[in-house]
Amino acid sequence: MAERNCLVTNDWICGEYVRSRSQELTDATLQHIGITLASVAIGLAVSLPLALLARRWRFLSGPVLGVTTVLYSVPSLAMFSLLLPFFGLSVSLVVTGLVLYSLTVLVRNILAGLQAVPDEAREAAKGMGYGPLRLLWEVELPLALPALLAGVRITTVSTVALTTVGAIVDYGGLGTLILDGLDTTFKAQVLTASALCVLLAVVADLLLLGLQRLLTPWTRVHRIRTNRADRGPAVAKVAEPA
């Protein structure tokens, strides 16, 4: 009986809410995951060629990094609003906005990763007759992978958080439930959706950390042997969009 009442008394934590609205919560969570995945995937697909262009032609690296940095400073609500005339009230609006945010960290990290490839490795591959594409795919990208994946982790976590702002056009995944809960002062809905959001970010981060360990087993050995400091702090200096 006490459990039923928590909906009436508008408690923060309410098991009955989770049970009775499980479908709604699942749908919102799936939408949230879908938007995040699409944004990070498209962001990667766009930033890889951008980073390669910026590396190939030095004069492009200034403008590319400059524009993506400026995009990063635009508040999220303004970013989504500026895209409204082009996309209308659609999920593509939210995904496009999130992709634009992801570019800053991804392009920077991919570029840094590629630039950190030792010249000896490059020379050795060329000496073995590797063409430019094979060199990129088999030597440079694998060596740039730790930096790339570090960028993907940061981007994914902030994308999960930023997706909530998509609620302004009704495509915010869990954010839509949060904003809805404000209008109806439904405390359990706001707290549950917020907690799920943070949980989603943490799970995504841990999964990517696992992927990073799996794909780049050599980085751990390297770190132990040379005791070199973690690369993390260097990336933490970038501002967060909100």
Partner 1 sequence: MNAITGAYDWLTTGANWRGEQGVWHRLAEHLYFSGVCLAVACLIALPLALWLGHIGKGGALAVNISNVGRAVPTLALLILLTLTPLGEHGDAPTLIALVLFAVPPLLTNAYLGMREVDRAVVEAARGMGMSGGQLFARVELPLAYPLVMTGVRSAGVQVVATATLAAMAGEGGLGRIITAGFNLQNTPQVVAGAVLVALLALLVEGVLVLAGRLFDPMRRSGGAAR
Separation between Cα atoms, residue 190 and residue 182, nearest integer Å: 7
Tell me if 185 contacts partner 1 by CB under 8 A.
yes
Tell me if 30 contacts partner 1 by CB under 8 A.
no
Pick the closer one to partner 1 by CB: 131 or 232: 232
Q: Kindly provide the b/e burial profile for residues 12-39, where b requires at least 16 CB atoms within 10 angstroms of the residue's own CB.
A: eebebbeeebeeebeebbebbbebbebb
Tell me if 184 contacts partner 1 by CB under 8 A.
no
Q: Which two tokens stand for residue 42?
A: 């498209």
Separation between Cα atoms, residue 44 and residue 210, nearest integer Å: 19
Q: Which of residues 140-179 bind partner 1 (CB under 8 A)?
A: 154, 157-158, 160-162, 164-165, 167-169, 175, 178-179
Pick the closer one to partner 1 by CB: 88 or 118: 88
Tell me if 226 contacts partner 1 by CB under 8 A.
no
Which DSSP category does 138 fall into?
I
Q: Is 94 exposed, middle or buried (0-12, 13-18, 19+ CB in 10 A)?
A: buried
Evaluated on CA atoms 167, 152, 51, 65, the torsion sign reads: positive
Which DSSP category does 57 fall into?
S
Of the candidate residues 202, 206, 209, 211, the single one contacting partner 1 (CB under 8 A): 202
Mask of contacts with partner 1, 95-134, x by CB under 8 A?
----------------------------------------
Tell me if 84 contacts partner 1 by CB under 8 A.
yes
Residue with tokens 């869990």: 174
CB 139 within 8 A of CB 122: yes
Q: Which two tokens stand for residue 9?
A: 């008394």
Tell me if 18 contacts partner 1 by CB under 8 A.
no
Tell me if 8 contacts partner 1 by CB under 8 A.
no
Taking the complex as a whole, the smallest distance from the CB of residue 125 to partner 1 amounts, in Å, to: 34
Separation between Cα atoms, residue 134 and residue 49, nearest integer Å: 16
Site residues, partner 1 (CB under 8 A): 70, 73-79, 81-82, 84-85, 154, 157-158, 160-162, 164-165, 167-169, 175, 178-179, 181-182, 185, 187, 190-191, 193-194, 197-198, 201-202, 205, 232-233, 236-242
